[in-house]
Amino acid sequence: MPIVTVDSVHKRYRLGDQIVAALRGASLMVEEGEFLVLSGPSGSGKSTLLNIIGCIDTADSGEVIIEGEQVVGRSPSELADLRVRTIGFVFQTFNLLPVLSAAENVEYPLLLMPELSADERQKRVKHYLDVVGLSDYAGHRPGQLSGGQRQRVAIARALAPQGRVILADEPTANLDRATGEEILDLMQALNRDSGVSFVFSTHDPKVMERADRLLHIEDGVVRDAPAD
């Protein structure tokens, strides 16, 4: 069974006096251990689709099934609980809390899991900072880190709840070429070694080249990527 199934999802937004159709029947499936890349121009619906998969936003209609559970129609508290336990996020702007250290940023989503003891939280923080190569920077705040280091903290934070899917929205957009390649190497190694599924939205050809499966979204509809 796929980890994520999106079937005929529609999403509309009000923009001033206009209604904008961001998704027009979008469908896709994410399999276990997949390195899936979603490409498309700006405004095509990439980020909207990732936000709906990640339970940050909700569909107007259609089905979204995550780990066998129907998402559409769930309450905000149910969506928040499902999100923290199943899905991690890596954003192009990192979205780290500037007043917290790297370790505290990684721990932050774990605070939403009351079954974890303080000792277990610290073990996970230490482990995942080590996984991304930042053990020596645990006490540094985001402003004291490079862009690549901040993205590594964001990856550790996404991994710490030990969900099965990582959503990465333009994760290399704010990085130079060499650093972007390092981040992609890290994500691909994590995908290979841990079996965590990655779903990217991107304009970046370097990311597209690494895809197990490449899809294209335009005008809110997902299709197989056009052949070169």
Structure confidence at residue 46 as a pLDDT band (50, 70, 90): very high
**123: helix, coil or strand?**
helix
Q: What is the mean pLDDT of residues 165-178?
A: 91
pLDDT tens readout for residues 66-92: 988 888 888 888 888 888 889 999 988
Let me know: does 190 contact 196? Beta carbons within 8 Å: yes
Q: Which helix (H) or strand (E) holds 12?
A: strand 4-15
Domain 32-59+74-224, CATH: 3.40.50.300
Give pLDDT, residue 226: 64
- List the single range of 100-109, 132-141, 172-181 with lowest mean pLDDT: 172-181
pLDDT tens figures, 118-156:
999 999 999 999 999 999 999 999 999 999 999 999 999
Q: Which has the higher per-residue pLDDT, 111 or 73?
A: 111
Asked if the model's pLDDT at residue 227 lies above 70, the reply is no
Given a contact cutoff of 8 angstroms between Cβ atoms, the answer to whether 183 and 150 are in contact is: no
Spatial distance between the Cα atoms of 80 and 114, rounded to a whole number of angstroms: 13
Which sequence spans correspond to the domains of the chain? 32-59+74-224
Residue 166's pLDDT is what?
A: 95
Specify the pTM.
Answer: 0.91
- Residues of the chain by 3-state class (helix, strand, coil), percent to 5: 35, 30, 35
* Residue 101: HSE in the Cβ half-sphere, 13 Å Cα cutoff: 12
Asked if pLDDT for residue 228 goes beyond 60, the answer is no
Which residues, in sequence order, are CB contacts of 106 under 8 Å at separation 6+? 124, 125, 128, 129, 153, 156, 157, 160
Which residues fall within 8 angstroms of residue 68, CB to CB, at 6 or more apart?
Answer: 1
Tens of pLDDT, residues 184-217: 999 999 999 989 999 999 988 889 999 999 999 9
User: Position of tokens 């972007």?
Assistant: 180
